[in-house]
Amino acid sequence: MLKRITLAITVAGFSLALFAGSGSAATILKVGVVDLQGALNATSEGIAAKETLRNKHMAKQEQVDKMKAELDTMEEKIKSPVISEEAQVDLKEKYRQKKAQLIEFVTRAKEEEDRENQQLSARILEGLIKIAQEIAKTENYSIILEKSGSAVVYFEDSMDLTDRVVKIYNERYQAGEGQ
């Protein structure tokens, strides 16, 4: 429902802007489109950031796998018929503690991963938006839309500025320069 309202407002706004003009002459809109998420994933910095995050994730996953293996071993010992009842109670308590540690570790790792991803993405997106705004000003675009937004149903390929924004970003912010 919200998407339909947004689309209706956008279409109405375009219609008004397109046909509004001084006197009898209509104003011509120059519209561009940028896929910010695609641009984020296509920048050299975005690719490197994703690789760094993937490596960190894999390292943490190895720790999780070790912890799970330890829990599996403990579980087998708990099920063993040769273990005394007192040892079994003790082992169950240690198992419960280790399982709680695993859950806490996974939760903290996920939060840290999400936070780091958000920080890296925000910084890159800020640069991409700045470049898109510069293109709009220097080339007299009336509006630049975000491609993956729900209001954009169709656009001509010639309106897509994503590749240009990525190219300029990579040139400007190569190896962290310019920010």
pLDDT at 45: 92
Per-residue pLDDT of the chain (179 residues; tens, 9 = 90+): 444 444 444 544 455 454 444 444 457 889 899 999 999 999 999 999 999 999 999 999 999 999 999 999 999 988 888 888 898 999 999 999 999 999 999 999 999 999 999 998 999 999 999 999 999 999 999 989 888 776 777 778 888 899 999 999 999 987 555 55
pLDDT at 5: 42
How many Å apart are CA 176 and CA 98, to the nearest integer? 41
Q: Please, is 169 exposed, middle or buried when counting C-beta atoms within 10 Å of its C-beta (0-12, 13-18, 19+)?
A: buried
pLDDT at 8: 41
pTM of the predicted model, to two decimals?
A: 0.68
pLDDT at 11: 47
Length of the chain: 179
Q: How many CB atoms lie within 10 A of CB 90?
A: 13
Quick one: DSSP state of residue 148? T
pLDDT at 177: 55
pLDDT at 27: 73
How many Å apart are CA 29 and CA 5, to the nearest integer? 22
How many Å apart are CA 17 and CA 166, to the nearest integer? 29
Count of alpha carbons within 13 Å of 106, Cβ hemisphere only? 13
User: What would you measure as the largest C-alpha separation in the chain, in angstroms?
Assistant: 96
- In DSSP notation, 32-65 reads EEE-HHHHHHHSHHHHHHHHHHHHHHHHHHHHHH
Residue 176 corresponds to which tokens in the numbers above?
A: 């962290």
pLDDT at 22: 44
